[in-house]
Chain A
Amino acid sequence: MTVQDSSSPSARAPITRKKIHGHVGFSNLPNQIRRKSVKDGFQLTVMVVGESGLGKSTMINTLFDSPIYAPREPLHPAADRPKTIAIESTQAVIEENGVRLRLTVVDTPGFGDFVNNAPSCNPILENIEQRFDAYLSQEHRVRRANLVDTRIHACIYFIQPTGHALKQIDIEFMRHLHHRVNLIPVIAKADTMNDDEIADFKERILSDLEFNGIQIFQAPMYEDDDEESLAEADEIARAIPFAVVGATQRVRTRDGRKVRGRAYPWGVVEVDNPAHCDFGKLRQMLVRTNLEDLREYTNEVLFERWRTEKLLAMGYTQDASVFAEFDPAERLQEDRIVHEAKLAKLEASMKEVFREKVEIQERKLKQSEVELYGRHKEIKDQLNKQWEELVKKKAQLEGAMSSPDASRKKTFRG
């Protein structure tokens, strides 16, 4: 037990705010950090999950305005179709204004496409946990210079625009994965619904998520941001799940503008128009505002949760003493006390041993004493007996000698 010394320097001294008179220069720190991170570049790993045909590849291409996914060749009917879900990873490096983003997109073709989709969740969960494992073993390395972070920072889940509520497969998937990855549900192909239908649908989805206890990614709100950012963040948060439309091609609208969108006979859906769909909000959240938040949450909450569970399962126990504050004098004191206690214990145990040995010797000696005494008595008895016998014999012989005549004749016969 440690002794809390109230006079030690680490007893909580109040933190005082000092005013500086003059320019020191540490306000340049954010710029230094910025320069360094721009040099290093950023990493983002995103997983996209959803039934085929919901526009996942198009959405990724639209988000980053680059042809990350080539249009998939349609399979010939006679071609072999895969029997299980596959996990495919695509990497791209995109640069904007000198900032490099290393983007990895993990696709899950085959999800929800089979007649029996029950085994589809497991490969995905395994893949996520595998990435956590890889990072964990890197942390344990002797040299940890270049940590490569392949953990999934966000999982965009595409919901089919039925207009009713979540499907069974949606609920099952999200329930299995929400504690391991940041879930961002989006309503795919939202240009098939009008405003009222979308509003109702979103409400029902949120109600379903709540009912099933599914946690989706919440962008953190910073209180010391300015009003405008707060309002924007609030608007974004209220639009989840985002109703998105993806389009990489540029089309001409009725009033002559060239925009990214889809051209129908009855009008043009503009991807970048916030009145038409929530694509802008998704991009804002994923790329512009909360990219770092996603990464942080993955690292600090999701990964730590995984790590704790794994280590506990492996048999490590929590050592609470590592959290004590480190003060050298106190530590020395503690060490001394511990050492003294150890010595005292050693002494006591040695005394114990000595006492025991003495006892044993005493017992032994007592036993031999008794034995000797016994033998002594025996011998004495024997001697007494012999003495009595000799006395008897002497008496006999004396009796025989006192009557010699009577016995001479008898004795000389023969």
Chain B
Amino acid sequence: MTEEIRAESYVGFDSITQQIEHKLLKRGFQFNVILVGQTGLGKSTLINTIFASHLVDSKGRFTSDEPVRQTTEIQAVSHVIVENGVKLRLNIVDTPGYGDQVNNENCWDPIVKYIKDQHSAYLRKELTAMRDRYIQDTRIHCCLYFINPTGHSLRPIDVIVMKKLSEVVNVVPVIAKSDSLTPDERESFKEKIREELVYHNIRLYPFDTDEDDQEEVAVNEAIRAKVPFAIVGSDTSVIIDGKSVRGRKNRWGVVNVENKEHCEFMDLRDFLTRTHLQDLIETTAQIHYEAFRSKQLLALKEGVNQRPAQ
């Protein structure tokens, strides 16, 4: 253990944080998120609600003569949002057609392939002789998996896909359209889901590593207690007590998206943007990307070794 020395007078290197901040502010941040879930679960609406702006359009089938998509498509949109001088480049990847057919076997393949392709592209850029000073990061930092609010349990397809995805990306499951569940139903549903996730050994974000200190472990525990987040999204605003909030108005009441008793949207938003944004990006680089990279390089080495042996 190296000894910590206290300087005798103020040196001034504590301004390094500000120097970094200044640099980072100029560069801006990049956040890539992928939305996975059946059509009609409110994926596009949720993203619009989280970032409080109209970023994506719903990709549902609205007319009879429009054909049903036969495969999962990957559609990415890019936006830049600025808040207090901080520039965030947001890449939102939607997956219309997932889980929509009668036979959904292998409908998750295009998604897994897309995620791996992003890792692959980054690796290639890293390995070239002449590299960019700052490689554009298209790797997916977070996958929001939308669960149907049946109130019973996970479906077979949910289990299979979450397992496959958790091996390549940070998966954050959410219960979509949770305004169809009463608080009791919501709690029992979440319990059931957590039980199933543990049983099937699905590793969800946040991961515990050995280097975490007490505080971080506690925070992770708190998050894990809330996952999956039961959310409600809304593009429209309603007036409650004179304030304009995002919500949904029915004949029997108004669902306030920002009310913690109504749904857990605020928890999800804070988790994604206010507390764990940087951690998601870092985990993608340090855990998922590294795993992918080592597998690829080992395979490359095997290929090189095999050729002289032939």
With A52-B150, A75-B153, A115-B160 as known contacts, state yes or no: A269 contacts B252, CB within 8 Å.
Answer: yes
A163 to B60, CA, bound (A): 9
Interface string of A307-323 (1 = CB under 8 A from B): 00000000000000000
Asked whether A265 lies within 8 Å of B183 as measured between CB atoms, the reply is yes
Count residues of B near A (Cβ-Cβ below 8 Å). 50
B63 to chain A, nearest CB (A): 8
Q: A115 to B256, Cβ gap below 8 A?
A: no
CA separation between A161 and B149, bound complex, in Å?
11
B294 interface contact, C-beta 8 A: no
A263 to B177, CA, bound (A): 16
Contacts of B100 in A (CB 8 A): 167-168
Instruction: Give residues of chain A (237-286) contacting chain B, Cβ–Cβ below 8 Å.
Output: 262-270, 275-276
Which listed residue, B64, B196, B249, touches A207 by the CB 8 Å rule? B64
Q: Are the CB atoms of A160 and B153 closer together than 8 Å?
A: no
Question: Is A265's CB under 8 angstroms from B250's CB?
Answer: no
A382 within 8 A of B: no
B179 touches A264 (CB 8 A): yes
- Chain A, range 194-219, C-beta contacts under 8 Å to B: 194-195, 204, 207-208, 210-212
Residues of A close to B152: CB separation below 8 A: 52-53, 72, 74
Contacts of A168 in B (CB 8 A): 68, 100-102
Contact yes or no, B262 A265, CB < 8 A? yes
Please report whether the interface of chain B is mostly helix, strand, loop or mixed according to DSSP: loop
User: What 0/1 readout, one digit per residue, does chain B (237-281) give for beta carbons within 8 Å of chain A?
Assistant: 000000000001111111110010110000000000000000000
Min distance, Cβ B71 to any Cβ of chain A, angstroms: 12
* A53-B150, A211-B65, A268-B252 known; A192 vs B179 contact (CB < 8 Å): yes
Which single residue of chain A is at the shortest CB-CB distance from B191? A74
CA distance A118 to B252 in the complex (A): 39
- A113 interface residue (CB < 8 Å to B): yes
Residues of B within 8 A of A113 (CB): 155-156
Contact of A191 among B68, B155, B180 (CB under 8 A): B180
Within 8 Å of chain B (Cβ to Cβ): is A116? yes
Among candidates A171, A263, A275, residue contacting B251 with C-beta atoms closer than 8 Å: A275
Closest CB of chain A to B80's CB: distance in Å?
A: 29
Chain B residue, CB-CB nearest to A72 = B152
Partner of A116, one of B105, B149, B153, B251: B105
Q: In the complex, how many angstroms separate the beta carbon of B267 from the nearest chain A beta carbon?
A: 15
CA distance A115 to B105 in the complex (A): 6
Q: Does any Cβ of B come within 8 Å of A162's Cβ?
A: yes
Chain B residue contacts of A334, Cβ below 8 A: none
Contacts of A164 in B (CB 8 A): 39-40, 58, 60-62
A98 to chain B, nearest CB (A): 36
From A114, A172, A194, B249 is in contact (CB under 8 Å) with A194
Residue pair B157, A115 in contact (C-beta under 8 Å):
yes
- B104 beta carbon closer than 8 Å to chain A: yes
Is A169 on the interface with B (CB-CB < 8 A)? yes
A195 touching B148 by the CB < 8 A rule? Answer: no
The answer on a CB contact under 8 Å between B150 and A162 is no
A53 to B158, CA, bound (A): 14
Give a binary string over A289-303; 1 marks a CB under 8 Å from any B CB, 0 the rest: 000000000000000
A118 in contact with B103 given A74-B153, A162-B60 (CB within 8 Å):
yes
When chains A and B are docked, how far (Å) is the Cα of A17 from the Cα of B200?
A: 78
Tally of contact residues, A, Cβ under 8 A: 49
A 89-135 contacts with B by CB, 8 A: 113-118
A21 in the interface (beta carbon within 8 A): no
Chain B residues in 8 Å Cβ range of A165: 60-64
B156 in complex: contacting residue of A81, A161, A195, A204, CB < 8 Å: A81
Q: Which residues of B contact A68 (CB under 8 A)?
A: none
* Beta-carbon contact of A163 and B102 below 8 Å: no
Within the complex, the shortest CB–CB distance from B174 to chain A, in Å, comes to 15
Q: Which residues of B contact A194 (CB under 8 A)?
A: 248-251
Q: Please, which residue of chain B has its CB at the minimum distance from the CB of A262?
A: B182
A358 part of interface (Cβ distance < 8 Å): no
**B179 contacts across to A, CB distance below 8 A:** 191-192, 264
Q: Does B199 contact A (CB under 8 A)?
A: yes
- On chain A, the residues within 8 Å of B250 by CB distance are 191, 194-195, 267, 269
Given contacts A114-B156, A264-B179, A266-B256, contact A204 B151 (CB under 8 A): no
> Across the interface, which residues of A come within 8 angstroms of B124, CB to CB?
none
Instruction: Determine if A189 is an interface residue (Cβ-Cβ < 8 Å).
Output: yes
Q: Which residues of A contact B204 (CB under 8 A)?
A: none
Which residues 138-192 of A have a CB within 8 angstroms of B? 160-165, 167-169, 171-172, 189, 191-192
Q: Which of B38, B101, B151 contacts A53 (CB 8 A)?
A: B151
Q: Does B182 lie within 8 Å of A263, measured CB to CB? A: yes
Residue-wise interface mask of B (120-159) relative to A, using a CB-CB cutoff of 8 A (1 in contact, 0 not): 0000000000000000000000000000111111011100
Q: Which residue of B lies closest to A164 (CB)?
A: B60
A78 at the interface (CB under 8 A from B): yes
CA distance in complex: A57, B64 (Å): 30
Q: Does B41 sit within 8 A of A, measured CB to CB?
A: yes
With an 8 A cutoff between CB atoms, is B109 at the interface?
Answer: no
- Most chain A CB atoms below 10 A, which of B68, B195, B249: B68
A80–B294 Cα gap in the complex (Å)? Answer: 37
Give the Cβ gap from A279 to chain B, nearest Cβ, in Å. 14
- CA A194 – CA B253 in complex, angstroms? 10
23 A-B Cβ contacts within 8 A? Answer: A74-B152, A74-B153, A75-B153, A113-B156, A115-B157, A162-B38, A162-B39, A164-B60, A164-B62, A165-B64, A167-B39, A167-B100, A189-B149, A191-B250, A191-B252, A192-B177, A204-B64, A210-B64, A265-B259, A266-B255, A268-B253, A269-B252, A275-B251
Given contacts A77-B200, A194-B248, A267-B252, 5 further A-B contacts (CB under 8 A): A74-B192, A164-B62, A165-B61, A168-B68, A189-B149
Query: Which A residues are closer than 8 A to B by beta carbons?
Result: 51-54, 72, 74-75, 77-78, 81, 113-118, 160-165, 167-169, 171-172, 189, 191-192, 194-195, 204, 207-208, 210-212, 262-270, 275-276
Residue numbers of B with Cβ under 8 A of A are 38-41, 58, 60-65, 68, 100-105, 148-153, 155-157, 160, 177, 179-180, 182-183, 192, 195-196, 199-200, 248-256, 259, 261-262
Q: Which 3 residue pairs spanning A and B have beta carbons closest together? A: A53-B150, A162-B40, A267-B253
